[in-house]
Amino acid sequence: MIKIKKIILIVSLTLFLTDLSSWAMSPKKSIYKAYIGADMQLWRMVIDSLHAKSNKTIEQEIELLNYEYGYIGWCLSQKKKQVAETYLKRYEARLSKLTTNQTQGLRAAYRSAYYGFEIGLNNVKAPFLGPNSVREAEQSVKLDPKCWLGYVQLGNIDFYKPFLFGGSKEDALKYYLKAEQILLKDAIDQDWNLLSLWAQIGLTYEALDNPQKAEVYYRKALNAEPQFKWVRDELYMNLKKKKQR
């Protein structure tokens, strides 16, 4: 009986390690799965595993930076500031590694997001760090006109900045649509960034009191990924309830 239990344990462990190895070889798919299913525990496991790997290439550092960018944003949206602060320190250290000319535009975009995250941790910093975020976002698209993330940052700045301080949902939409145009040219299958952008464009159209256009983008996201939980169960569902009322 004991021998049988040992065999079962060995087989189970082998299957687990095999699955883990397979998962580790495809972090993009794991992050995508985590995003559409709102499984942030899986998301965190992926970035922790990648962070622990030594001798990462610059491409792997950029990939991981993108995942950390998404995770920190989620933490702040859920008021998990202590966790966000921990990962933001990693994010900043990783950002400092992007020094090649080829990554300057992207680095500026992530730097703009960094200042935004710092403001999210402490709104008192907004008057001091806000201009830095704007400057980096503008520099991003100046250095690389095809840097979709730079346009996303410009859009985020206008979307979340209060109207009294120069915020504009109309301008935010223009930046988001520009980002979409660029991202669609280089988008790969199962890209969480594209789904996120479509959801944000839908939210922006809602903020502009244009539910018809918002529905177009929510449907666009669901057509690409029917299991996209956030849009399927929240954004699109809430929009349909508003239209019924």
Q: What is the mean pLDDT of each run of 10 residues along the chain (245 residues)?
A: 47 43 69 97 97 94 97 97 97 90 90 97 93 97 96 97 86 98 85 97 97 97 97 96 82
pLDDT of residue 65: 97
CA 66, CA 90: separation in Å to the nearest integer? 12
pLDDT of residue 24: 47
pLDDT of residue 20: 44
pLDDT of residue 182: 95
Burial of 157 (0-12, 13-18, 19+ CB in 10 A): buried
Phi first, then psi, for residue 54 (nearest 5°) are: -95, 165
Contact assessment for residue 119 and residue 130, using Cβ atoms and an 8 Å cutoff = yes
pLDDT of residue 163: 82
What is the DSSP track for 93-129? Answer: HHHTT--SGGGHHHHHHHHHHHHHHHHHH-GGGHHHH
pLDDT of residue 187: 66
Dump pLDDT digits (tens) for 187-206.
Answer: 677 899 999 999 999 999 99
Dump pLDDT digits (tens) for 121-130.
Answer: 999 999 999 9
Could you count the other beta carbons within 10 Å of the beta carbon of residue 53?
10
pLDDT of residue 15: 42
pLDDT of residue 190: 87
Q: Say what the pTM is.
A: 0.87
**In the structure encoding, which two tokens stand for residue 155, read together?**
């859009």
